[in-house]
Chains A and B, each alone.
Chain A
Amino acid sequence: DAGVIQSPRHEVTEMGQEVTLRCKPISGHDYLFWYRQTMMRGLELLIYFNNNVPIDDSGMPEDRFSAKMPNASFSTLKIQPSEPRDSAVYFCASSHGDENTEAFFGQGTRLTVV
């Protein structure tokens, strides 16, 4: 398996524009997580899904953020409108099963909002 695949790797956008980040989890994994990493706050959980259903979105910072998982092999994180403070590295991770097995992370999307 190629691992968790995220796209794009880098995104530069202007304030006010819509941004969509994409993730393909590892085949067979039933949990998918979105995290955000900044120097100030470290890695923070934004939202996670189980079997394509959102379970906990309490980490989503504002209504400008939304996430979907239309099927087991694809998820998106959308920011609309984007703001400079959204600049960060966004990671997607997936894991398997009900046991607390390790989560596998993608390479991340570095978002810069100017």
Chain B
Amino acid sequence: EDQVTQSPEALRLQEGESSSLNCSYTVSGLRGLFWYRQDPGKGPEFLFTLYSAGEEKEKERLKATLTKKESFLHITAPKPEDSATYLCAVSKYSGGGADGLTFGKGTHLIIQP
């Protein structure tokens, strides 16, 4: 069974304090690993897709990396507006075409000014 586990469940940082969020996954035939951001009362907002081990992507203060078993979301010098729940999800090969995502439960990140 496909599994996505995120840690920590919650993280509180001071503004400017860099850290990393972890996403461990078990899936047969990884097609893509996705990172989303979710603000309270809103739907998940797409951040990154990673397809193969060693791949990295960056966007502003965020950088996502991927290995064969896990992904990290590095947050450099975060600001209060980076506070949100960060969700990791995987998609697998299932006979072609797009597929639904299997999500982790997320990391609730709070950046204190």
Using a CB–CB distance below 8 Å, which chain A residues touch chain B? 4, 31, 33, 35, 42-45, 48, 50, 55-56, 59, 91, 93, 95, 97-108
Q: Is the interface of B mostly helix, strand, loop or mixed?
A: loop
User: Distance in Å from the Cβ of B111 to the closest Cβ of chain A?
Assistant: 22
B22 contacts partner chain A, Cβ-Cβ < 8 Å: no
Contact call A43/B98, Cβ cutoff below 8 A: no
Taking a contact as CB atoms closer than 8 A, the residue among A35, A44, A100, A104 that contacts B32 in the complex is: A100
Bound complex: CA of A106 vs CA of B98, how far in Å?
18
Q: List 21 A-B contacts (CB under 8 A).
A: A43-B44, A44-B103, A45-B102, A48-B99, A50-B98, A56-B94, A56-B99, A59-B100, A95-B98, A98-B96, A98-B97, A99-B98, A100-B31, A100-B32, A100-B51, A101-B49, A103-B46, A104-B46, A105-B45, A107-B42, A108-B42
Find out whether the CB atom of B101 lies under 8 angstroms from the CB atom of A45.
yes
* Cβ of B23 under 8 Å from chain A: no
Determine the residue in chain B with the shortest Cβ distance to A99.
B98
**B interface vs A, CB < 8 Å?**
31-32, 34, 36, 41-46, 49, 51, 87, 89, 91, 94, 96-106
Task: Give the residues in chain A near B49, CB-CB below 8 Å.
Answer: 100-102
The listed residue (A31, A56, A102) touching B34 by CB distance below 8 A is A102
Query: Could you say which residues of chain B place their CB within 8 Å of the CB of A91?
Result: 43-44
Which residue, of A91, A93, A99, A102, has the highest number of chain B Cβ atoms within 10 A? A102
A56 to chain B: closest residue by CB: B100
Of listed B42, B51, B97, B105, residue having the most chain A CB within 10 A: B97
Question: Inside 8 A of B41's CB, which chain A residues have their CB?
Answer: 107
Once the chains are docked, how many angstroms separate the CA of A56 from the CA of B106?
A: 24
Q: Which residue of A lies closest to B42 (CB)?
A: A107
Smallest CB–CB gap between A98 and chain B, Å?
5
Which residues of B have CB within 8 Å of A33?
Answer: 100-101
Q: Provide the bound-state CA to CA distance between A56 and B89, in Å.
A: 18
CB closest residue in chain B, given A98 = B97
Chain A residues with Cβ below 8 Å from B100 are 33, 35, 45, 48, 56, 59
B42 to chain A, nearest CB (A): 6
